[in-house]
Amino acid sequence: MKSNTINKKEIDKFSKIAEEWWDPEGKFKPLHKFNPIRISYIKNHIINTLKLDNGNEPLKNVKILDIGCGGGLLAEPMSRLGAEVVGIDASDKNINVANLHAKKNGLNIKYICASPENFKNDTKFDVVLNMEIVEHVEDVDFFLMTCSKHLKKNGIMFIATINKTLKSYLFAIVGAEYILRWLPIGTHEWEKFVKPEDLITILSKHNLKLDSLDGMKFNLIKDEWSLSSDKSINYIGKFINN
């Protein structure tokens, strides 16, 4: 088993385009489109699971660790909803961009350049976010094991990633990268995609039990993402730490 989840090639790839994180028409445009459905899914599941009733700050006092936080596209809305957010990323450039943007917007988010295995923290989190990250790490099993160590008992881990199917190859790589040019060519490697059943098996070894699993699909006409029963390309899962 590896002792390191950092894939240098993947880190370099995202570091090169770090300046574009907050440009809704830039290289991260697909994530900007993706964000509303991710935010509502995470928010609603946290409120329902933790039985919260905090009014205007629905996630008040909820401690969230955003792993592979990039430029902070998800950490910022979570902070605005009242959560106490820590974002970690293995790319220095991403962390710098995230820090600057949060300060500019008066948000109190703690950003640290780290991977889950070398992130030193005394407190455990109510929620761990692994969004669009497992398909970029070096060793998924070791990565998820180290992530689980940062989660409280009965805490929630959210994972969004891409299924390993012929359809995902055609749509997420050929379509999104080569035809529509939504993403830079080489953003994804099909070999690194993870099937839901494999993800569930790995997480169960680390005491994380599947609570819900949903597909996500993009509507070209409406130009928006929605939840779907079709998990053949993008999917999102909620796991509880037993």
Residue-wise pLDDT for 94-117, tens only, equals 999 999 999 999 999 999 999 999
| Number of structural domains the chain divides into | 1
pLDDT value of position 50: 94
For the chain, what is the total number of helices (H) and then of strands (E)? 7, 8
Classify residue 18 by burial, with Cβ atoms within 10 Å: 0-12, 13-18, 19+. buried
pLDDT value of position 202: 97
Is 19 a domain residue? yes
Is 109 a domain residue? yes
Is 3 a domain residue? no
Is 1 a domain residue? no
Is 52 a domain residue? yes
Could you read off the pLDDT of 172-229 as tens digits, one per residue? 888 887 887 887 888 889 999 999 999 999 999 999 999 999 999 999 899 999 999 9
CATH number of the domain that residue 168 is part of: 3.40.50.150
Is 177:121 a contact under the CB 8 Å cutoff?
no
Please name the residue ranges forming H helices in the chain.
8-15, 29-50, 75-80, 92-104, 140-148, 166-168, 196-205
- Say how far apart CA 123 and CA 84 lie, in whole Å: 12
- Say how far apart CA 77 and CA 42 lie, in whole Å: 11
Q: What is the pTM of this model?
A: 0.93
Full DSSP string of 20-49: GTT-TTSTTHHHHHHHHHHHHHHHHHHHHH
Is 67 a domain residue? yes
Please tell me whether residue 12 adopts helix, strand or coil conformation. Answer: helix
Q: What is the extent of the structural domain holding 94? A: 8-241
